[in-house]
Amino acid sequence: MASDERPLRLLSLDGGGIRGLSIIYILQDVMRRVNLRRSKDERLEPWQYFDMIGGTSTGGIIALMLGRLKMSLEECERAYLDLSREIFTPRKQSYPFIGRGVDLVNAYGKFDAKVLENAIKKIIEARSTSPEVELLSNPEPECKVFVCAIQSSQHDTTPALLRTYKNDSVADLISKKFKLWEACRATSAASTFFDPLVIHDGPISSYFLDGGLMLNNPVNTVFKEAQEVWGRERRMSLISVGAGDAPSGQFHGNIKNVVQGLAKIATDSRTAAEQFYSTQLGHPQLAGNYFRLNVSGMATIGLEEHKLCGEIEHATQYYLQSGETKTKLEQCIKELLEPERQEYDRG
């Protein structure tokens, strides 16, 4: 790493439906600790502090609110609560099971996707000139944000990264075609809950599904993306924030066992966290500066249960007050701030 380059600050946000509220509470605590160690007139928000934020599903929506719309964490919390109350109102119809591999339940979402779209547009319009703003409006933003989705066509089904910035290392032909609201919609289109987003490009139609079906914990994707953008020499500090343990299945009827099994795979981030820890913790660019923050004890809260927001807050605050978590957070903040202290000392 060049002497004048501080370590990159990277943030990875899991998917988790309404449990994503836990992510916001954890980030509030992280930024509170960061700002306590700064002068009072320099209170920073995540978009001013992190170089890159990557998220999946509702973690992706949070990433875009914090990084692309530059919302404060308090604004993000209010918007997320409003969004959850609006979108998680069940349709008055049943849904069939269509066995198409990754699609889970493909044809009819459990909740109304149009309500989701309108709620997202309302949030965007309050922070920008129009609800139809582009996802990629500035090729070099202060905080680079990407969200994970799954692109499905007649020929292939692959993970897709929707970026707010230009990555010269890859041939990204998708991001520039997306509106900001479409990126939010694409990353959160869990097909057990919402219909997929359809994007038409001439005669070709692509379906975009919740990235949580393949990349619910995007920590490795954040690491690899940062390497592509900044190279393989610069040091990094990486915080991965989970949305609590995956819930048991909330499904019934003949499809219960199949959907429940697939949904658990789609929503369980633990394996990805463990694999990243075992394979990348000693990487020279990280040098141990990887921190996983994830609340246990929320396994009974389903992705859609917005009425249990109080329980999510209670479980998260209990987690943040535990001795083990406090120790981890102190070490995390120390690593984030050490380069700044060195700069101040030199100054």
Residues designated as active site: 57, 210
Where does 231-304 have alpha helices with state H? 256-267, 270-280
Determine contact, residues 229/249, Cβ cutoff 8 Å: no
- Please tell me the distance from the alpha carbon of residue 334 to that of residue 341, in angstroms, as a whole number: 10
Determine contact, residues 15/221, Cβ cutoff 8 Å: no
Of the CA atoms within 13 Å of residue 330, those in its CB half-sphere come to 7
**Identity at 30, one-letter amino acid code:** V
Q: Is 308 helix (H, G, I), strand (E, B) or coil?
A: helix
- Please tell me the distance from the alpha carbon of residue 49 to that of residue 142, in angstroms, as a whole number: 9
DSSP assignment string, 205-247: EEEEEETHHHHSS-HHHHHHHHHHHH-SSS-EEEEEE---SPP
Q: Which of 230, 100, 122 is nearest to 181 (CA)?
A: 122
Determine contact, residues 95/105, Cβ cutoff 8 Å: yes
- Please tell me the distance from the alpha carbon of residue 271 to that of residue 260, in angstroms, as a whole number: 17
Per-residue DSSP letter, 61: H
Q: Is 133 helix (H, G, I), strand (E, B) or coil?
A: coil
